[in-house]
């Protein structure tokens, strides 16, 4: 697998290498071979594997919502393929799902133009920055058998897609599709066993597990996490009681930390750090604790969100949780000498990058849109869109790194993926011609991304590159002057 390095390549060289890889992955012979291995093709048919990938991955049509007649019309217009609605319907079968699923797995394994990590100040403290999260969406009730939802009802259907994303290289480390009822914590524990020395793991509260933090620490990895407010926090008791023989009483070794007292003592915007503290009534796991006092506006916003969640998700927050809405509490094992308490909050905010990706999945690729169709057809839609998402994200990242290195500009992930998404049809047509045609399209995409894909700096909020300490072109002063 060739590794691309934006620092050493011209735009033409990068586009040429990417074009060769794309042509190799999506050429007719490669797709035919994979289709035969998965049983999707057993004899020659009018609708080839390349035609099927064209429809499920690159088409502006939606396999999950458009009618079979519309999909056939698209195949005729784009690929000069005349197929009946029933003929196409028969192609949406379990073997077709296996074919697309295998294609996606191969792309995940081999990557498209794997990029060396973004060079930065803070980011270089960590080998990888691994962000884990999931997205969930509802499905028609008749899908409840294979895709039972999280509501607990036998008639509720939903799908959950787990994604572990590596921020510095843009890699999709792992993607898993399953029922909405699947537990985040169990999946998080499975992924914790794969961490390596120097990794930084960032997860939300759904994955909170003290044993996972212990695993990461033993592997030489780092973590940053919000603290579940029902988890007890202790510190060493300086006045521990002793028996008459002088031995310390174990039940007095630790004293509980009062978060409410800390919250009351802090002013809005202030923070307090404690190290070491020990979390878990049984585990007493040593960690670094950072408490941030929110502003009144931030506290009010959080309370409104929790009130909405109580009504929408039919949950009830504990009174203590509501009282502690005025603070954010984080734990980490990153050494104090490497990061300040303010940087811990910033590092955790990198988690929102995966939320940006999930936003594109639903708003651009409509992976969650589905009408009442048979399950194999819906699964072809899901894996087809995951392939399209992976391609768009991978190409965006290569171009983003190139523009950062050569132009010192920061491309918006959302805008960049949108640009690639809008050109998938053109990419499909180029792939059916020559490597040169793909190369020329990729060069146009780099130019388009530079003109229309850069982040807007109208807001004072720090970007990912700001947090990581990446040098790039600053627009804030010019915007202020304007």
pLDDT given at position 479: 39
Kindly tell me if the per-residue pLDDT of 36 is higher than 60: yes
- Can you tell me the mean pLDDT for 398-403? 90
Q: Is 93 helix (H, G, I), strand (E, B) or coil?
A: coil
- Can you tell me the mean pLDDT for 232-261? 87
Sequence length of the chain is 482
Reference 186, options 209, 204, 170, 164; nearest CA is: 209
Q: Is 241 helix (H, G, I), strand (E, B) or coil?
A: coil
Kindly tell me if the per-residue pLDDT of 398 is higher than 70: yes
Across 60-64, 114-118, 201-205, 447-451, least confident range: 114-118
- Which residue carries 């780099």 as its tokens? 446
Cα 260 to Cα 241: distance, rounded to the nearest angstrom: 26
- When comparing pLDDT for 115 and 357, which is higher? 357
pLDDT given at position 244: 76
Q: Is 472 helix (H, G, I), strand (E, B) or coil?
A: coil
- Can you tell me the mean pLDDT for 308-319? 82
Residue 481 confidence class, pLDDT cut points 50, 70, 90: very low
Q: DSSP label at 1? A: -
Kindly tell me if the per-residue pLDDT of 7 is higher than 90: no
Q: Is 173 helix (H, G, I), strand (E, B) or coil?
A: strand
pLDDT given at position 482: 33
Long-range contacts of 459-468 (CB under 8 A, 24+ apart): 462/346, 462/349, 463/410, 464/167, 464/350, 464/353, 464/410, 465/120, 465/404, 465/410, 467/122, 467/346, 467/347, 467/349, 467/350, 468/118, 468/120, 468/121, 468/122, 468/123
Kindly tell me if the per-residue pLDDT of 458 is higher than 70: no
Kindly tell me if the per-residue pLDDT of 376 is higher than 70: yes
Cα 38 to Cα 59: distance, rounded to the nearest angstrom: 23
User: Domain boundaries in the chain?
Assistant: 6-113+365-468
425 burial level (CB within 10 Å; 0-12, 13-18, 19+): middle
Kindly tell me if the per-residue pLDDT of 230 is higher than 70: yes
In the chain, pLDDT over 90 holds for what percent of residues?
Answer: 71
Residue 275, both tokens:
């190290």
Q: Within 13 Å, how many C-alpha atoms sit on residue 44's CB side?
A: 2
pLDDT given at position 251: 78
- Can you tell me the mean pLDDT for 169-181? 94
pLDDT given at position 213: 98
Q: What is the pTM of this model?
A: 0.90
pLDDT given at position 136: 94
Residue 445 confidence class, pLDDT cut points 50, 70, 90: very high
Residue 178, both tokens:
């399953």
Reference 150, options 163, 165, 164, 134; nearest CA is: 134
DSSP string, 100-134: HHHHHHHHHHH-SSPBPPPP-SSGGGSSEEEEEEE
* Contact status, residue 224 vs residue 350, Cβ threshold 8 Å: no
* Contact status, residue 57 vs residue 384, Cβ threshold 8 Å: yes
Kindly tell me if the per-residue pLDDT of 16 is higher than 70: yes
Number of separate helices (H) and strands (E) present in the chain = 19, 10
Kindly tell me if the per-residue pLDDT of 319 is higher than 60: yes
Average per-residue pLDDT for the chain:
89
Residue 465 confidence class, pLDDT cut points 50, 70, 90: confident
pLDDT given at position 459: 56
- Can you tell me the mean pLDDT for 278-289? 94
Residue 477, both tokens:
């002063």
Q: What confidence tens digit (pLDDT) does each residue in 194-203 have?
A: 999 999 999 9
Residue 397 confidence class, pLDDT cut points 50, 70, 90: very high
């Amino acid at each position: 697998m060739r590794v691309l390095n934006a620092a050493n390549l011209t735009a033409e060289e990068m586009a040429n290498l990417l074009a060769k890889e794309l042509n190799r992955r999506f050429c007719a012979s490669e797709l035919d071979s994979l289709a035969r291995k998965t049983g999707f093709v057993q004899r020659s048919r009018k609708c080839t594997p390349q035609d099927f990938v064209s429809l499920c991955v690159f088409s502006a049509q939606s396999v999950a919502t458009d009618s079979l007649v519309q999909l056939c019309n698209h195949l005729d217009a784009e690929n000069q393929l005349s197929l009946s609605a029933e003929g196409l319907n028969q192609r949406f079968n379990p073997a077709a799902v296996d074919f697309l699923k295998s294609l996606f797995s191969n792309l995940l394994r081999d990557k498209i133009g794997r990029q060396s990590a973004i060079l930065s100040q803070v980011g270089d403290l960590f080998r990888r920055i691994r962000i884990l999260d999931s997205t969930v969406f509802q499905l028609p009730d008749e899908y409840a058998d294979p895709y039972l939802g999280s509501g607990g009802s036998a008639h509720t259907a939903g799908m959950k897609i787990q994604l572990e994303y590596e921020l510095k290289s843009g890699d999709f480390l792992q993607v898993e599709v399953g029922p909405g009822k699947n537990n985040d914590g169990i999946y998080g524990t499975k992924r914790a066993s794969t961490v390596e020395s120097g990794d930084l793991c960032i997860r939300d509260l759904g994955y909170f597990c003290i044993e996972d933090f212990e695993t990461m620490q033993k592997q030489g990895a780092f973590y940053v996490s919000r603290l579940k407010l029902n988890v007890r926090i202790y510190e060493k008791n300086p006045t521990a009681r002793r028996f008459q023989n002088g031995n310390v009483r174990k039940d007095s070794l630790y004293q509980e930390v009062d978060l409410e007292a800390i919250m009351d003592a802090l002013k809005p915007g202030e923070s307090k750090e404690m190290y070491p503290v020990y979390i878990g009534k049984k585990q007493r796991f040593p960690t670094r604790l950072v408490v941030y006092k929110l502003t009144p506006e931030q506290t009010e916003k959080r309370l409104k969100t929790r009130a909405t969640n109580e009504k929408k998700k039919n949950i009830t927050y504990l009174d203590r949780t509501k009282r502690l809405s005025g603070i954010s509490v984080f734990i980490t094992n990153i050494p104090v000498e490497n990061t300040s308490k303010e940087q811990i909050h910033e590092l955790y905010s990198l988690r929102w990058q995966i939320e940006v990706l999930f936003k594109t999945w639903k708003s651009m690729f409509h992976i969650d849109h589905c009408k009442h169709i048979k399950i194999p057809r819906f699964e072809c839609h899901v894996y087809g869109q995951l392939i399209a998402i992976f391609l768009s994200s991978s190409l965006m990242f290569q171009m983003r790194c190139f523009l950062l290195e050569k132009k010192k500009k920061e491309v918006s992930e959302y805008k960049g993926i949108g640009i690639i998404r809008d050109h998938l049809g053109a990419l499909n047509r180029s792939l059916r011609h020559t490597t040169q045609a793909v190369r020329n399209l990729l060069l146009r995409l780099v130019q388009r991304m530079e003109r229309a894909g850069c982040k807007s700096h109208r807001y004072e909020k720090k970007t990912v590159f700001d947090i990581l300490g990446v040098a790039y072109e600053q627009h804030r002063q010019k915007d202020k002057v304007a």
